[in-house]
Amino acid sequence: MILYAEDLVPGTTIELGSYKVTREDIVEFATRWDPQGFHVDEEIAAAGAFGGLIASGLHSMAIFQRLAVDGAFSTWAMIAGRSISDVQLTAPVRPDMELTGRIHIDAVEPKGPGRALVHKSCTLLDGDTTVLTFLGSSYVRTRP
Amino acid sequence: MILYAEDLVPGTTIELGSYKVTREDIVEFATRWDPQGFHVDEEIAAAGAFGGLIASGLHSMAIFQRLAVDGAFSTWAMIAGRSISDVQLTAPVRPDMELTGRIHIDAVEPKGPGRALVHKSCTLLDGDTTVLTFLGSSYVRTRP
């Protein structure tokens, strides 16, 4: 089943799956894309502001995106992402956290023939603690 | 040499290095973090809105971050990233583009003892074409 823009109802909340973060995963991602000491080096991280290794903010965003594709976007008639705003890293992501994701559909805005811009509030959580929030907008096809 | 918050002068522009994007890189990143057809499947991408494979927006952000760490943040007394806003994916990133990055220091805002919040305008370019812009704020230590 494919969901078109008309099927995405403002006010709906979609609970995504979960992702277990490992120490190896944190170091591997950051070594490639964000090789700052507090993301890749245990000793530097232990002496730093967070007292231990924390995930790159981009890694948190990537984990959210993977949960969102698997749990939502893969069934949407997605054209492409358009913008992201107000990304807040509200708590550090540490090894062994089990993160879950949530999408809230804020609005569906018609945008030219055949497509709409879908505005979403996105949240990544460690249990009840929010670790990441942002607003995302994506182009989604309208029903043929 | 370490640059503290006092050394980061509002109005300064920092030109970062360059990153050659490959088809393999686009597919590898997206397969792990953003497995939507137009990022991972040549045939789906060819039939899609962009007429070919395009990089995940997160991949563009990751490329920028790697250029920023190598060309700037690795010499800053960085504590951690705090927020990102107004991410605009202004043009598709395609295989074989040679991307360059640029950071503009917008403001340095004292934030409690020993640290400041550094506000930056960040740009990723393919030649003269801007492919990604966003505003980033990071905590940086003040001089001891």
pLDDT (tens, 9 = 90+) of chain B, 144 residues, equals: 899 999 999 999 999 999 999 999 999 999 999 999 888 888 988 888 888 999 999 999 999 999 999 999 999 999 988 889 999 999 999 999 999 999 999 999 999 899 999 999 999 999 999 999 999 999 999 999
Kindly state the tokens that stand for A142: 């309208």
Q: Are A86 and B137 in contact (CB under 8 A)?
A: no
CA distance A96 to chain B (A): 19
**Spatial separation of the C-alpha atoms in residues A90 and B62, rounded to whole Å:** 20
**Integer CA distances (angstroms), B106 to B13, B90, B120, B138, in order:** 9, 21, 5, 12
> The complex's ipTM?
0.92
Q: How many Å apart are CA B102 and CA B135, to the nearest integer? A: 12
User: Using a CB-CB distance cutoff of 8 angstroms, which residues of chain B are in contact with residue A70?
Assistant: 35
Stretch 84-123 of chain B: residues touching chain A, C-beta under 8 Å? 84-89, 92
Contact check, Cβ <8 Å, B35/A61: no
Residue ranges of domains in chain A, CATH in brackets: 5-141 (3.10.129.10)
